[in-house]
Structure 1
Amino acid sequence: MRILVATNFSPRSQRAVRRAGILAGQRGGDVILIHVVDGTRPREVARDLREAQRMAVEQIAVVPELFRVASRPLVVAGCPPDAILDAATAHAADLIVVGAPHRGAARDSGWTVRSLIRAAPCPVLVVGRSAAGPYTGIVVPVDFSDASARALRSAAVLADDAHVTVVHAFEALGKAKLSAFGMPRAHIDGYVESWRSSFAEEVETFLDADGLAGREWSRRVEEGPPDEVIVRLAARRPSELLVMGTHARAGIRKALLGSVTEDVLAAGGMDVLVVPPPRSGVGLGSGPSAHASAGRAERPALRVVTA
């Protein structure tokens, strides 16, 4: 595994560097530590490049998680998101690791979680918490799409001794109307549970289609909008990793993904691994999907998404 980790030498990026070292140590991978100098005056940029090179070498030397990992600095000039994406492609990175920004910070500068997620050629891990060791748990929201299948395969690659929880968020159609018509609470609860049971069966079918049903993973089927369910889980399980897949199209799904990622990180919750559609076989678990939709229950389309 080749990991490209971005650093600006701040405490937030230090967390990302430490996490990159832990993952590289687990996977027998190597780390490229990238720092981007953003400037317009040639003399100042040249000076900053020299200073950043020195600091990057020092950071590699003092981070304990990198002591037994093949690591090298990469200091370049340019716009941070563009330079990181170019480096990820040029060096065939399997994973980009970045520190979580302050909530609302640098939204207009382009140095944001969304700007990397939107065009990354490989998964992007956004680190918001201090890295004390390997992840103890991984949470994967699924919506039965190819994006969810990629997220599950990436979780399987990273799991090792971590416990994986597969989560599906659902909304029972017509529940509000039943309440408005004065249906007894017990009947409404039973109606919701019938939806929950149906989706629980579909989760098993989905896992089985990708050859993952036999794993000792937990399954959770929770009622509520996906973004709310994800943020609630992140608040309850802050030491774990959240893995989400993106869809191969722009628009509201990517906007929602960025929003959910930022909400999770701002709440002090999990680190977030975002898995994009595969590009030339690059990335974690990027092999062809074994997912098949045959045999799934027929039901109206729901507003249920991974992110």
Structure 2
Amino acid sequence: MVQITGLKNILICTDGSEFSGGAIREGLRLVKKTGARVAVVSVIDFNPELQALAPDLVDKMETDIRKHLSVIREEAARESIELEAFTRLSTTPYIEIAKEAERTGADLIVMGRRGKTGLKRLLMGSVTKRVIGHAPCSVLVVPREAKLECKKILCAVDGSVYANAAAAEAVMISKRCGADLTLISVVHAETASAFDIVHSQMHHDLIAENELRVAESGLKSAKEFAEKEDVRCESIVLAGKPYEVIVNSALKKSADLIVMGSHGRTGVDKLLMGSVAERVVGNSECAVLVVKARK
């Protein structure tokens, strides 16, 4: 189990763009707080055809990334942080990042994500979502402007083994950091307002009774674990589109971290991470910790 305050090895990923700024800043802060070893990797999306047609362009990309990594080294040195920084060329960057996580023994990958689009539908970038799907460890996704304080944490629970792992993680982080913890479970409601209806007010013709029972059961188990660890928490059931409710609840609670589960690694190239987790990561204004359940 990964605890944000008890990490041993962290891998920070950067693509050299402004969208990696939050991951670099908060990743180094996390290293400073925990004393973990850290490595920084930048994987260039290698295109053999491009190299054949424009070798100078590829060389420039490598040179620019090395300069970017040099700046990160200097920033880390000012905080007395020693780090390993390296660049890689790969036709499948997400696979290369997963391999580097294995090689460095990372128990957490920290990375950024592309900015929101004008659409409500998620477009968070294939590398980030595929890293989450293939990584051997949990992944912390940090939007550019997000700050990770671990003061107010929101954890999404749905009764699955993946959500249970996330809830256990959220409880331990809250315990170690003294954070306020909110456990939330969302049931679907096509016409219900997510914030006007709580479980005590739900109409049976609107919410499937079985779905509500599963949601309440998952919350009960998570809350019992929190109480066992002497962590006080609020638990709520809301209705609506799950990713919208989770993201809006985090805003309402002023959460600086959302914790949620993900399916384990897939055996295919295309990510099967789950649309709710994917959309929360893509639309959240705060950091999102995607916990990988051990098989």
State the TM bucket, normalised to the shorter chain: 0.7 to 0.9
- TM-score w.r.t. structure 1 length? 0.70
Give the whole-Å Cα distance in 2 for the aligned partners of 1:103 and 1:202. 31
SS of equivalent to 2:16:
coil
| Residue 281 (structure 2) aligned to one of 253, 257, 261 | 261
The answer as to whether partners of 2:18 and 2:144 remain within 8 angstroms in 1 is no
What is the match of residue 74 of structure 1? 86
Whether the aligned pair in 2 keeps the contact of 1:129 and 1:270 (CA below 8 Å) is no
Q: Does 1:243 align with 2:243?
A: no
- Identify the residue that residue 137 of structure 2 maps to in structure 1: 122
Contact 1:125 1:274 in 2 (8 A): yes
Query: How far did residue 73 of structure 1 move?
Result: 0.5
- Asked whether the 8 Å contact 1:122–1:276 carries over to 2, the reply is yes
CA distance in 1, matches of 2:240, 2:123: 32
What is the CA-CA distance between 1:29 and the residue it aligns to? 0.7
Query: Equivalents in 2 of 1:161, 1:25: separation in Å?
Result: 18
Going from structure 1 to structure 2, the CA distance change for 1:69 and 1:9 (only over 3 Å counts) comes to same
The answer as to whether partners of 2:263 and 2:272 remain within 8 angstroms in 1 is no
- Looking at structure 1, the residues matched to 272 and 61 of structure 2 have their Cα atoms a distance apart, in angstroms, of 39
Q: Per-residue CA shift, 1:115-169, capped at 9, x if unaligned?
A: 1122111111111143545232111010122111110222234331322211112
- Does structure 1 retain, via aligned residues, the 8 Å contact 2:132–2:139? yes
Equivalent in the alignment of 2:292: 276
Q: Residue 219 of structure 2 aligns with which residue?
A: 203
1:240, CA displacement in angstroms? 1.3
Q: What 5-or-longer segments of structure 1 have no aligned partner?
A: 177-187, 280-307
* Structure 1 residue 272, shift from structure 2 partner: 1.2
Counterpart CA distance in 1 for 2:279 and 2:259 is 15
Q: What does residue 302 of structure 1 align with?
A: none
Distance in 2, Cα, partners of 1:97 & 1:63: 15
Give distance in 2, aligned partners of 1:132 and 1:59.
Answer: 18
Distance 1:143 1:271 in 2: 20
Distance in 2, Cα, partners of 1:109 & 1:147 = 21
Q: For residue 75 of structure 1, what is the amino acid of its counterpart?
A: T
1:232 is matched with which residue? 248
Distance 2:169 2:247 in 1: 20
Note if contact 2:113-2:124 (Cα within 8 Å) is conserved in structure 1.
no
SS in 2 for 1:259: helix
Alignment pair present for 1:10 and 2:17: yes
How much does 1:100 deviate?
A: 1.4
- The 1:221/1:212 distance shift into structure 2, 3 A limit, reads farther
Q: Is the 8 A contact 1:5 1:31 kept in 2?
A: yes
Please identify the structure whose Cα radius of gyration is greater.
Answer: 1
Other structure's SS at 1:155 match:
helix
May I ask how many residue pairs the two structures share in their alignment?
260
Looking at structure 2, the residues matched to 116 and 158 of structure 1 have their Cα atoms a distance apart, in angstroms, of 23
Q: Secondary structure at the match of 2:248?
A: helix
Q: How far did 1:277 drift?
A: 2.5
The match for 1:99 is 112
Residues 171 and 226 in structure 2, CA contact (< 8 A), matched pair in contact too: no
Structure 2 vs 1, CA of residues 278 and 205 (structure 1 numbering), >3 Å: closer, same or farther?
closer
- Alpha-carbon distance between aligned partners in 2 of 1:130 and 1:152, rounded to the nearest angstrom: 25
Amino acid at match of 2:84: R
Q: In structure 2, what residue type is equivalent to 1:100?
A: R
Distance 2:258 2:138 in 1: 12
Aligned mate of 1:143, from 137, 151, 158: 158
TM-score under structure 2 length normalisation: 0.73
What's the offset of the Cα at 1:24?
1.8
Q: Distance in 2 between matches of 1:115 and 1:255?
A: 13
Matches within 5 A, 1:17-36: 17-36=24-43
On the 8 A contact 1:248/1:276 being kept in 2, the answer is yes
Whole-angstrom distance in 2 between the partners of 1:208 and 1:89: 34
CA deviation map 1:191-231 (0-9, x unaligned): 569x7799657623343258746311222222334223212
2:98 aligned residue: 85
Cα distance in 2, alignment partners of residues 109 and 140 from structure 1: 21
Q: Secondary structure at the match of 1:121?
A: coil
Q: Over aligned residues, Cα RMSD in angstroms?
A: 3.7
Is the 8 Å Cα contact of residues 99 and 126 (structure 1) preserved in structure 2?
yes
3-state DSSP class of the match of 1:135?
Answer: coil
Q: Which amino acid in 2 is paired with 1:145?
A: S
| Contact 1:128–1:271 (CA under 8 A) maintained in structure 2 | yes
1:205–1:59 CA distance, 2 compared to 1 (3 A): closer
Paired residues of 2:155 and 2:184 also in contact (CA < 8 A): yes
Q: Distance in 2 between matches of 1:197 and 1:262?
A: 29
Taking a change above 3 Å as real, the CA distance of residues 229 and 104 of structure 1, as seen in their structure-2 partners, is closer
Compute the displacement of 1:189 (Å). 3.7
The answer to whether the aligner puts 1:53 opposite 2:66 as a matched pair is yes
